[in-house]
């Protein structure tokens, strides 16, 4: 083999190796960029999940308070309705008593 032939093969090997190294470097840079993008997306997703969880906890707390308030209102309504029933019973008794009194009253003179 001649020196020129060997030099040509070495030059081609160097070029191929350089091209492969450049491709590998570009692939590595792309992979690094993808890792950075993935990490940023993961952090945003993690933050969104944390915020969503906080919102859910807050809404659950509000709903629990509303349910407690509603139960209190129902209890007050039941108390008021019971008092209303008592008043209706008293009124009906008074009407009955008045009707009896009117029936048993002596006739009025004109």
Chain position carrying tokens 């004109």: 110
Q: What is the pLDDT of residues 68-94, one digit of tens each?
A: 999 999 999 999 999 999 999 999 999
Return the sign of the alpha-carbon dihedral for residues 53, 54, 55, 59. positive
Q: What is the pLDDT of residues 57-68, one digit of tens each?
A: 999 999 999 999
User: What one-character-per-residue DSSP string does 37-105 give?
Assistant: HHHHHHHHHHHHHHHHHHHHHHHHHHHHHHHHHHHHHHHHHHHHHHHHHHHHHHHHHHHHHHHHHHHHS
pLDDT at residue number 110: 63
Q: Which long-range contacts (CB under 8 A, 24 or more apart) does 14-21 make?
A: none
Q: Which residues contact 87 (CB under 8 A, 6 or more apart)?
A: none
> How high is the mean pLDDT of the chain?
92
pLDDT at residue number 63: 97
Band the pLDDT of 5: cuts 50, 70, 90: confident
Asked if the model's pLDDT at residue 4 lies above 70, the reply is: yes
């Amino acid at each position: 083999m001649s020196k020129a032939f060997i030099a040509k093969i070495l030059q081609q090997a160097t070029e191929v190796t350089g091209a492969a190294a450049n491709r590998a470097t570009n692939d590595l840079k792309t992979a690094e960029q993808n890792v950075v993008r993935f990490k940023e997306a993961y952090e945003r997703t993690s933050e969104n999940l944390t915020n969503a969880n906080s919102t859910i906890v807050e809404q659950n707390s509000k709903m629990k308070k509303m349910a407690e308030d509603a139960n209190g209102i129902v209890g007050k309504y039941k108390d008021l309705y019971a008092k209303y029933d008592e008043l209706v019973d008293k009124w009906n008794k008074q009407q009955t008593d008045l009707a009896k009194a009117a029936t048993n009253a002596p006739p009025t003179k004109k």
